A and B are shown apart, each in its own frame.
Chain A
């Protein structure tokens, strides 16, 4: 027995010696080292072209933000109604709640876009040996876009984490400053001018808006800036086109249905390739023509406006039209016959707005319209011309979140901002939805229709375009009036 003890002791001693003396064995016996596969700040900052991949990240973040805001803004407008339970349940009737998690996510993704821009400007860019002025300009552009969206969709929202919320006007002013910084670094990008034009437009600063819009057309009269989506993204918050899912990919669910007057424009987003989802055009030259036309109408210059609209129509004529197999959904597969579904239907007295979906359909993927040259030629200095302009604006920008901003409706800061930001209390401006009274009065009818399938007649209960134009003198809508 003693011998065994001795042997054991010797073996133990040998092991101990080996463990202590050889580095190789230390590797084999160290049970505390773990491999962290994540990319940490120290290893990322300073890498060659880190500013470039960071910019790609912001591009992707723009797509993520659009995923949030498009659902809210398109449901909140008269463009789309949600007939199922998957997407936001509150916005159709403009029930804008501080406890709606979609409010939180939208605000968070918006802030994230700005924080990424700031981090790019302050940390990533300066430490990257390959940092260029063009990249810096893009950082300013995205920062400006964050401010621009803040102004378009919120009545008050902070520009820094936990800061005092800025008003819509202050956010637009910040946006203009950022776009100007971008232009200073790279003056060859028309979208910088168009983004600034939009900020001036909503502020009602006609002269500057017109100047920038004019600049856009001079530089590139058919440019588009778009957010791209990766169909293969399977991360927790994937940069797939969520609005495309709602319109097309979730086919049999029939989630979102357009106002019948817009049927021919749906689905703007559909299957593209197995790798890439349809893009969202968030800045396009069409907007410059709208700004010019509206400015001209507000100046009583219908003729010039006609010219702008003619140019616009020509531009739209050059835009891509896709042939889509939409037979799976038809128009409401789940509740057949509930909505207009054939080309024989007349909507609000106008024919040819509804497509037959039992065969392939042709739908504009950038801009589409029912506007005709005779309608343009008939434009005068009256509200009818303004209505025509706003109807076209709704059509061209469908599924792009503009109609909601044009309605003058503003979302609220989320409950979490209220509780965690000491500068915000419940009941403050910015925590209560802003809905112009003339919109509030019809908010339950925004998507309401009547449809007589046998007679082939559909009518929208209200004409929101007419309501907006009728209230053009309100400072909440039609900024040039």
Chain B
């Protein structure tokens, strides 16, 4: 071994000395068409390992041999090559590549299609924007950076679910969460508590929290309607498509980044300062990230890894996260490409109890269970505080999550016009949750007498979710004089197996985490298995390369449809007209001012299917006192089909002043037909409620987005973006079923009722009549939980190596119940705003309107700055210093945080209206400093 090593070294020196002999130094500047310097351009000596990158002023310097070929490459620009001659200076001007001008969107299946040919809109978040953001949770990345998604953080506790919605709530019985696809592979997107998951009284652990966010090249957010038709089942809520980095040809780049953050609770919405005093303590987050990116003509690769830990903003929460990702592109032959990606994410969290859980500390305080904390003396408060600190120390709701995702894509170019794509991939996510309710905890709560030592409980819930995705399609491109054709034909399947087990041990002593040591053990299991498959085709016809007609469809079948049903055909059709692409227009003077005009219109259908097995009539053999007890369970529905959302969309996109200002507007009208409702059964039938295709839900609205480069000089770039969206949601038809409660409580609930918005707030209201007495209106409509007006905004300023950015979002027009306030009132400690002559005369449930507030808010989500030192700090090719503040400012119209939903999303993949601010903390403020070294 030693000998070989020695020989290798000898060879290396020989080669090196040989090359030193003939080399010279070449330098220069790389600019774009406009002469602006391009930093980070790969400058490579072909067929050698030599290479460098341009600095921030576009300058480079490299040692080469005379006669060698230098290649200049940069993402989004045409690669250029130059033979080294006598000159020591080579300046290079790179032109934007045609493919970049025609941004390609992965349309669901097949090869991508140029954005300008699409009649649908897609929101895109690119690598450079993602890298700037401090979060490593996909929902938080998209929040305030996508123009038309409503992403609402239901709790500040780590790893918890955000409620995501785009074009309103389309379903009364399933989650509004978009499906998530990583490199063509569907991944677990369960954004609610699992069927047998550990309940902490809300704030459920979400699968969105551990979608790999390392090494993302781009995220496409597709909002539903015609854009999602080809994705098949469940895509009606939209699709979040993640495309990971596969490496860039050129000199290898290595980076190391350290992030240090301070996490501080948001106290804006607390009723009592003492809540903060008792529970909140600033925490620290630490993260190390490394990455390698590079490759040659045949193979490119990307590696990313990170390790993260924080101890959150309070005395309980903790989070650890480890991730690895790997991406590869190999040109197997001239015609065959193989792209692979693999990622691993592991997280560990500890959550507090929330909301109406018997152990919830936060709601005990904020709900007034302990009286008015503002008036309690310090002496009286001290033992309360001490006891609650003890409860906190004894709280244990731990989740360990491991997720593996793998995608394999084969691209075969049969000829220039015909391409075959095959994708096969898996996603495996395993969650193990442990909840210990120890004797000590129960004693500290006063629930068990002092000295109890044999009533401790330990629950372990495990969920393994396995998804396989396969797709095979053919894309054909043809041109005929003034017409172009893109034809995609393919088939796709995915299958999902969700296996859950839960063991509960009780009657045990404290100090063990082995359920076998608990005298009484109960086991439960749960299985959901579903296969969805379909054939699809798409034809995009270009007419004079300015107008594009698109039509296609998907024949969709899934195993959770009833026995009496046929596969669903989901059609789509669209037309796009790029008026500004006409020669006459681009030659006219108009184009200098109004530089682009695009008209879009489309119609498409997408579906959501019901939970697997909900079509069959079932019996349940319950284990009852050690024996079997069989009963009716689900009545069954052999006619059950997916609910289908039919969306019509019209859009106008305008670009002004050479597209320095871009304006996009879309009108959408969506109708959910055969909507899945779970109405109450006829009571005298003795049957359970059964999911049925019963209703019709409509969503319509406008989407406006504006992006503008306000200042654009060689040194300064100031861009702003702003969006405004409206949504009008209504249950058009409830199929004759009476109103039913889907969230909240019976006395103040989130209700589904014909003529109202999905999940609107309903309860008895009290209003003062002219004579001074109160009129009580039962079942009064008290507001919509979904804000019908919302949007996001951002500013980005670049001065040379310095970048400053801000993102935020807002909403108005909806309502929420301040449940903490209601509880305080019930506990007799808070009558704020309630007429004195009403208090005490009747039950507070007869004047719930006093607890309902507007859910308007403006929130700044991120403010950040970065500075790039370039290669001034040798040996690094670049060093970037960054600072971000997350959630620094909130303005709300009501007293509470309207985003908070302490009751969580209890049913697996169930509908969640939100709208009940209750029992959990808001997302914390995070002040993060990062330092990134590039080699």
Contact = CB atoms under 8 A, between A and B. Distances in A.
Contact of B684 (A35, A85, A111, A415): A111
Interface residues of B, number: 70
A250 B495 CA distance: 43
B625 interface: yes
Interface string A317-334: 000000001011000010
B822 to A, nearest CB: 9
Contact of B529 (A34, A54, A115): A34
B682 A416 contact: yes
Contacts of A1: 333-335
B112 interface: no
A206 interface: no
A372 interface: no
Contacts of B634: 38
A258 to B, nearest CB: 21
Contacts of A111: 683-686
Contacts of A438: none
Given A57-B622, A239-B624, A416-B680, A274 B531 contact: no
> Which has the most chain B C-beta neighbours within 10 Å: A38, A99, A157, A158?
A38
A161 B681 CA distance: 10
A60 B684 contact: no
Contact of B620 (A39, A157, A413): A39
Interface stretch (B121-129, B445-453, B663-671): B445-453
A50 B630 contact: yes
B682 A252 contact: no
Interface residues of A, number: 71
A31 to B, nearest CB: 5
Contact of B630 (A35, A53, A276, A414): A53
Nearest to A150: B684
A234 B618 CA distance: 19
Given A60-B631, A101-B746, A414 B826 contact: no
B24 interface: no
B635 to A, nearest CB: 11
B684 A158 contact: yes
B269 interface: no
Given A37-B527, A41-B617, A275-B520, A161 B625 contact: no
Nearest to B446: A252
Contact of A116 (B624, B631, B683): B631
Contacts of A327: 449
A339 interface: no
Contacts of B621: 39, 53
Nearest to A97: B778
Contacts of A119: 632
B612 A34 contact: yes
A36 B613 contact: yes
A163 interface: yes
> Which has the most chain A C-beta neighbours within 10 Å: B449, B493, B683?
B683
Nearest to B618: A38
B685 A115 contact: yes
Contacts of B468: 31
> Which has the most chain A C-beta neighbours within 10 Å: B335, B448, B522, B737?
B522
A9 B863 CA distance: 56
Interface in B264-283: none
A329 to B, nearest CB: 10
Contacts of A230: 623-625
Interface in B596-621: 612-613, 616-621
Interface string A330-374: 000100000000000000000000000000000000000000000
Contacts of B619: 38-41, 44
A31 B470 contact: yes
A233 B624 contact: yes
Given A38-B613, A38-B616, A275 B625 contact: yes
B333 A89 contact: no
Nearest to B334: A1
Contact of A35 (B446, B527, B616): B527
A234 B522 contact: yes
Given A1-B335, A60-B622, A328 B449 contact: yes
Contacts of B680: 104, 416, 420
B341 interface: no
B636 to A, nearest CB: 8
B627 interface: yes
A417 B630 contact: no
Interface in B450-477: 455, 468, 470
A20 interface: no
Nearest to B683: A107
A101 B446 CA distance: 32
Interface in B727-756: 736-738, 741, 746-747
Contacts of B85: none
Nearest to B521: A232
B504 interface: yes
B520 A57 contact: no
Contact of A34 (B334, B559, B686): B559
A112 interface: yes
Interface in A76-127: 85, 89, 99-101, 104, 107-116, 119
B686 A31 contact: no
Contacts of B843: 89
A218 interface: no
B793 interface: no
Contacts of A85: 826
B334 A100 contact: no
A314 interface: no
Contacts of A384: none
A421 interface: yes
A32 interface: yes
B32 to A, nearest CB: 37
Interface string A217-232: 0000000000010101
Contacts of B716: none
Interface in B503-524: 504, 506-507, 519-520, 522, 524
Contacts of A115: 632, 685-687
B779 interface: yes
A53 B629 contact: yes
A160 interface: yes
Contacts of B686: 108-116, 161
Interface in B660-699: 680-687
B933 interface: no
A22 interface: no
A61 interface: yes
Contacts of B495: 31-32, 34
B845 interface: yes
A453 interface: no
Given A233-B622, A233-B624, A38 B633 contact: yes
A56 B682 CA distance: 25
Contacts of B618: 38-40
B402 interface: no
A233 B525 CA distance: 13
Given A1-B335, A59-B629, A328-B447, A31 B746 contact: no
B684 A157 contact: yes
Interface of B: 333-336, 358, 445-449, 455, 468, 470, 493, 495, 502, 504, 506-507, 519-520, 522, 524-525, 527, 529-531, 533, 559, 612-613, 616-634, 680-687, 736-738, 741, 746-747, 778-779, 826, 843, 845
13 contacts: A31-B470, A33-B531, A89-B843, A108-B681, A115-B685, A160-B684, A162-B685, A230-B623, A413-B683, A417-B683, A419-B736, A420-B680, A420-B737
Q: Give 9 closest A-B pairs by Cβ, nearest first.
A: A112-B686, A111-B686, A161-B685, A56-B629, A115-B686, A107-B683, A34-B529, A57-B631, A274-B520
Given A108-B687, A252-B445, 18 more contacts: A31-B470, A37-B527, A38-B620, A39-B621, A40-B618, A44-B619, A50-B630, A56-B629, A61-B631, A116-B631, A158-B684, A161-B684, A232-B504, A234-B524, A239-B624, A328-B449, A333-B446, A420-B682
